[in-house]
Amino acid sequence: MSIILVTGASGRTGRRVISQLIARRQRIRAFVRRPEAAQELLAMGVNDCFLGNLERDDDLRSALRDVSGVLHICPPMHPDEDKIAAAMIALCEAQGVERFVLYSVLHPLADVPHHRRKLAAEHALINSSLAYTILQPCRYMQHLNAIWPQVRDAGRHAMPFSSTARFSLVDLHDLAEATARVLVEPGHDYATYQLAGPARLSMEDCASTLTDLLGREVTAIARSDEEFRRDAQAAGMPATRIETMSVMNAHYTAHGLSGNANALRWLLGREPTTFAAFVKRELMGEA
Ligand SMILES: NC(=O)c1ccc[n+]([C@@H]2O[C@H](COP(=O)([O-])OP(=O)(O)OC[C@H]3O[C@@H](n4cnc5c(N)ncnc54)[C@H](OP(=O)(O)O)[C@@H]3O)[C@@H](O)[C@H]2O)c1
């Protein structure tokens, strides 16, 4: 039976996609860099784990042995994302991998460093001999999870960009399901799918929905770039990532991030999850 290599396997996206793939009885090799993560993924049901570093070509080569398909989920904002993708794609060609699914981002053309590196990865892929699918997800609804205690307990919905900028926020659960379907079901070769949520929502829109759901006033607060930098430095975020996120936040303030939900709706065969349904399911523990 064929085996699928999943990179970024122990991350937020990787774990949810792997759950969906296991539910579909797929054989999975998880690329992980920490032994503890390997134990967790084996307990979830992956068939084997390759312990390595995506920055090392020898590790990529070994991880790809006997693999039929790849889901490449690069670590977010990795400074060498384009180089890692190019190396993986060349090795997949050399080793006869049949399918390559690239987890990219909505609007890789945007003037944001990590979007441009994903654009370079897409470029390498469409110029390869591989049967590929490119997935372009919008911003996750799950960004709310990290600030949930302040939202619930203090009524503060604070993020470091304009409170009126709109995003086609998408549920990671829907993305994981769509990604698994693209990997497992036939008919997705050479497609590029924009994966956006069902509504264009600003922080103010989200705060209004949260006010209704929680029965308390929730206020949208645009944090300044200075506040963002101060807190990110205090949390030990690498300087290059702070710079990338600062550019991204400025881009969000100017343009938001909007897409169309039709491809996701078609892939899921149902309506994509709304923001209210996501909050109830994932943060309020309602079915
Ligand atoms: N968040 C969004 O709204 C959004 C929207 C569109 C696209 N995306 C894309 O989604 C992708 C996944 O994001 P995520 O939030 O799921 O990531 P994440 O939770 O930060 O997970 C990153 C994963 O990469 C692994 N990793 C990091 N450096 C590595 C290395 N050198 N070698 C091997 N593995 C390494 C991490 O391993 P450890 O467990 O050891 O740390 C972890 O499994 C990113 O490419 C991001 O750009 C995100």
CB 6 within 8 Å of CB 31: yes
CATH topology of domain 3-137: Rossmann fold (3.40.50)
Question: What residue spans define the domains of the chain?
Answer: 3-137
Q: Which amino acid is at 130?
A: L
Cβ partners under 8 Å of residue 37, min gap 6: 9, 10, 49
pLDDT band of residue 1 (cuts 50, 70, 90) is low
The model's pLDDT over 43-80, given as tens digits with 9 standing for 90+, comes to 999 999 999 999 999 999 999 999 999 999 999 999 99
Give the Å distance between the CA of 36 and the centre of ligand 1.
16
Pocket test for ligand 1, best of 6, 7, 10 (most atoms within 8 A of CB): 10
The model's pLDDT over 190-214, given as tens digits with 9 standing for 90+, comes to 999 999 999 999 999 999 999 999 9
Written as six digits, the tokens of 237 are 């975020």
Give the Å distance between the CA of 140 and the centre of ligand 1.
13
* 136 phi, psi to nearest 5 deg: -120, 80
**pTM attached to this predicted model:** 0.98
Pocket test for ligand 1, best of 6, 31, 33 (most atoms within 8 A of CB): 33
